[in-house]
Amino acid sequence: MRIGFCGLGRMGAAMARHVLEAGHELTVWNRSPGKAADLVAAGATEAASPAEAARDADVVVLMLTGPAVVREVLFDPDGVDSGAPEGSLILDCTTIGPSAAREVAAECADRRLRYVDAPVFGTVGPAREGTLTVVAGGSEADYAQAEPLLHCWGEPSRVRRVGEVGSANALKLVVNSALGVVATGLGEALRLAAEIGVPRDTALSALSAGPYGWTLQQKRHMIEAGDYTDTAFALDLMAKDLDLAVAEAGRELSVVAAALGDVRAAVRSGAGQQDYAAVVGWLAGAS
């Protein structure tokens, strides 16, 4: 297939490389320059605009930062819409929330483009390994076209259609809202340990045997070192996802809203580009 790929951040660059390795013809674009050199060396073509990346493409993949950027890349004068052939499939791997996904899909349909939302579960390591979990929302026919491409970066047994457009983003917000609550709860548990005289190592070992076990298996080394710079999932992206979850809910999500407040405060402290586990360290050390 001829693939246009827009968004070469930590996740996008890794995903795009798998597209090349699968033998597809790949044209890439990124807002900031300098991100495409390795992919070009491996055989990709770099485009000067989203429109150019989409020209002649069968599928255009988006891996961006949020709903506003998705709309800009798709619908601005030099956006995907102005270059993509009629009937092209937009495969949006950005987490933008179910409402935005349905709105974007409707606008794509008005412009004779098809749309599937397909956010990923996992971080940079699984993206590089091609073992992400991927859920997709869209028509059965559009998903059938997208599925072989999703297998480029997703573990085949964990790639699935979960419903119509928006359903995949809805599921992603459910999962990430829980992730945010766990991270902030862990931070407060460690702060409590410090305040009542429980050594941190003792607390971490005890917490690892309980409901925080999975998170500590992934992040304990960061917490112990106090170093969150090896970012797998950036804290400012967690803030964006929690904000979307609160906005989409039909009634107040008090626990998620509280987690969002803590995450935003940690972002304001300068930790936005660090791994989301930075909120654990910020809370544990906050006065």
**Residue that terminates a domain, selected from 138, 164, 190:** 164
- Mean pLDDT, residues 10-31 taken together: 97
When pLDDT is averaged across residues 106-120 and rounded to a whole number, the result is 98
- Average pLDDT on 271-283 reads 97
Taking residues 20-39, report their average pLDDT.
94
d(C-alpha 158, C-alpha 65), whole Å: 23
| Alpha-carbon dihedral sign for residues 189, 258, 165, 17 | negative
DSSP characters for 211-238?
A: TTHHHHHHHHHHHHHT---S-SSBHHHH
Residues 222 and 278 in one domain: yes
pLDDT digits (tens, 9 = 90+) for 207-232: 999 999 999 999 999 999 999 999 99
pLDDT 10s digits, 78-103: 999 999 999 999 999 999 999 999 99
Give the helix/strand (H/E) hosting 127: helix 124-129
Same domain, 105 and 180: no
Q: Is 35 a catalytic residue?
A: no
Whether 286 shows a pLDDT value over 90: the answer reads no
Q: Are residues 75 and 177 in the same domain?
A: no
* pLDDT (tens digit per residue) in 151-192: 999 999 999 999 999 999 999 999 999 999 999 999 999 999
Contact predicate 114/142, CB 8 Å: yes
User: CA nearest 57: which of 31, 32, 78, 87?
Assistant: 87
Question: Given a cut of 70, is residue 287 above it in pLDDT?
Answer: no
Find the domain containing 243 and state its range. Answer: 170-285
The domain that holds 218 is classified in CATH as: 1.10.1040.10
Place of tokens 């033998």: 23
Total domain count for the chain?
2
Region 15-25: mean pLDDT is 97
Residues of the chain with pLDDT > 90, as a percent, come to 98
Residues 49, 184 within the same domain: no
Residue of 35, 172, 219, 240 marked active site: 172
Whether residues 177 and 143 share a domain: the answer is no
